[in-house]
Amino acid sequence: MLDPQAHWLLKLLLDNGVPPIQTQTPTQARLGYESRKSFSQPEPIQMHLVEDHWVVVDDEKIKVRRYIADGVLNHDRGGALIYLHGGGWTIGSIESHDVMCRELSAKAQCQVFSVDYRLAPESPFPAAYNDAVAVFRWLQEQIKTHDEWRLDPQKVAMGGDSAGGNLASAACIGLLGDPIRPCFQLLIYPATNMLCTSNSHKTLGRGYLLTKEAIDWFSGHYIQNPKDLEDWRASPLLAPSHEGLPAAFVLVAGFDPLRDEGLEYADALSKAGVATEVVNFERQIHGFITMGRILREANTAVSLCALSLKAALS
């Protein structure tokens, strides 16, 4: 059964004639996505510190926002999460996931670094992947040179939702050869196979917010060369090996077309000997975790993610 609050949301969008994302330009879709934030998201938690930094990747500057909740700096050499927002590599921003990052910092008692990675179609694959890897390496350099940041270089996790989960998981693979690698991956309904061959794409591709047409719209902007669909940087499930990757917490939603590929990725990690936890919010839709103002289970999901993250960084 679909969660009644999620059912109400889907009916509300339909009754109000909200245009499907695939009928919009990327600019229109971005504005619409940001404008719905005040309707669906909780009030932002006050932070001890919020500050912006700039990281140069491929001769372009991207913004990284640092969040420190009250009490976080009481921990000597604590941990951090690099967070990559969802939005199909085409929409979303630091601002769209500001509330989420504040909550994770407060509830997990860690610093959070939210990445305003480059978006498609202006910057197609592998730009966003390159940004994710570069920010991890940038943070490692900051930890070396900024003792006052009070971070442990061995306690830096990667995480994200949807497209952000895709980027976090791919970055963990790409960083396997680095001297210091991510210690944990927090994957919230991640896209892991751009070929979209799992059964949930067939059974849940209509009527549950994220549709087949929307997925095609997103992936068409991000992946402009069809051969790249099978590149593990775009489809981490298709990587030759998943051995040696950091422990993972994988959250999926029962009425999400991406559900099965998230579960398949969790299984691939487990088969490779990676400590992996999986939670399925069986009655929820894709994108629900940021909607805590209107979906009660979203708040439960954020708290669960924070609990797992806090344990991994402790």
Number of H helices, E strands in the chain: 10, 8
CA dihedral 128, 131, 132, 133 (to 10 degrees): 130
Active-site residue flag, 256: yes
Question: Active site residue: 123, 162, 198, 308, which one?
Answer: 162
* Cβ 71 vs Cβ 108: under 8 Å: no
What span, in angstroms and rounded, lies between the C-alpha atoms of 123 and 94? 17
Provide the strand spans (E) within the chain. Answer: 49-57, 60-68, 78-84, 111-116, 151-161, 184-188, 247-255, 276-285
Question: Within 13 A of 162's CA, how many CA atoms are on the CB side?
Answer: 21
Which residues partner with 186 through β-bridges?
159, 249
What span, in angstroms and rounded, lies between the C-alpha atoms of 34 and 22? 16
Active-site residue flag, 59: no
How many C-beta atoms lie closer than 10 Å to residue 54's C-beta? 10
* Cβ 98 vs Cβ 114: under 8 Å: yes
* Cβ 165 vs Cβ 289: under 8 Å: no
What Cα–Cα distance (Å) separates residue 67 from each residue in 261, 304, 307? Answer: 31, 19, 17
**How open is the CA angle 35-37-43, to the nearest 5 degrees?**
140
Active-site residue flag, 162: yes
Question: Active site residue: 93, 256, 260, 308, which one?
Answer: 256
Give the rounded distance of the alpha carbon of 237 from its chain centre: 16
Q: Tokens 């006052």 sit at which residue? A: 148
What span, in angstroms and rounded, lies between the C-alpha atoms of 165 and 261? 12
- By annotation, the residues acting in catalysis are 162, 256, 286
